[in-house]
Amino acid sequence: MIGTEVKQYIDKSVLCWLATVNSQNEPNVSPKEIFTYQGDNIFLIANVASPNSIENIKENANVCVSFVDVFVQKGFKLKGTAVLIDNQDQRFKEKVKPLTDLFTDEFPIKSVIEITVTKVDTIQAPSYFLYPDRTEQFQIESALRTYKVKPLA
């Protein structure tokens, strides 16, 4: 389910956005900066300070995670079901280790949000559809101009 290209985007993404819904069907989207994948169908997110997301997952396990490369203007959306693994759970050490190995254990990780991915969709800027001859390189150059940044030498 989580193929090679999706894993590459996860590895180079700085943020992902977790979408949840409470029992009144009110949506919540929250940025997350500590996340990774485990195998081909598990996505892990560190719960550092996510009270709304956690409460929503307790009420409704259906979630969506998205991440994009802002320069290429492409990314992925993962849908699935989430479970919470807190530090009292015997699986916690196994699930938190890939997160602390990639990032740090400086932040207190209260629990791990484990998402079993059931669907993967691509995300692309509309310009890819409107102007099919535009390349990723064109998108990158355009984004660099728009955001007024320069690539590292």
Domain for residue 41, yes or no? yes
pLDDT tens profile 72-92? 999 999 999 999 999 999 999
Give me the percent of the chain exceeding a pLDDT of 90: 83
Q: Can you give the length of the chain in residues?
A: 153
Q: Lowest mean pLDDT of 40-54, 58-72, 99-113, name the range.
A: 99-113
Q: How many domains does the chain have?
A: 1
- Domain assignment present for 147: no
Q: Does 153 have pLDDT greater than 70?
A: no
Structural domain includes residue 61: yes
Contacts of residue 51, Cβ cutoff 8 Å, sequence gap at least 6: none
Task: Tell me the whole-structure pTM to 2 decimals.
Answer: 0.91
User: What digits encode the pLDDT tens for the residues 133-151?
Assistant: 989 999 988 888 888 888 7
CA–CA dist 23, 21 (Å, integer): 7
- Residues spanned by the domain of 111: 4-125
pLDDT band for position 30 (cuts 50, 70, 90): very high
CATH number of the domain at 114, please: 2.30.110.10
pLDDT of 107: 77
Strands (E), the chain: 16-21, 27-32, 35-38, 42-47, 62-69, 74-86, 111-124
pLDDT confidence tier of residue 104, bands split at 50, 70 and 90? low
Separation between Cα atoms, residue 17 and residue 78, nearest integer Å: 10
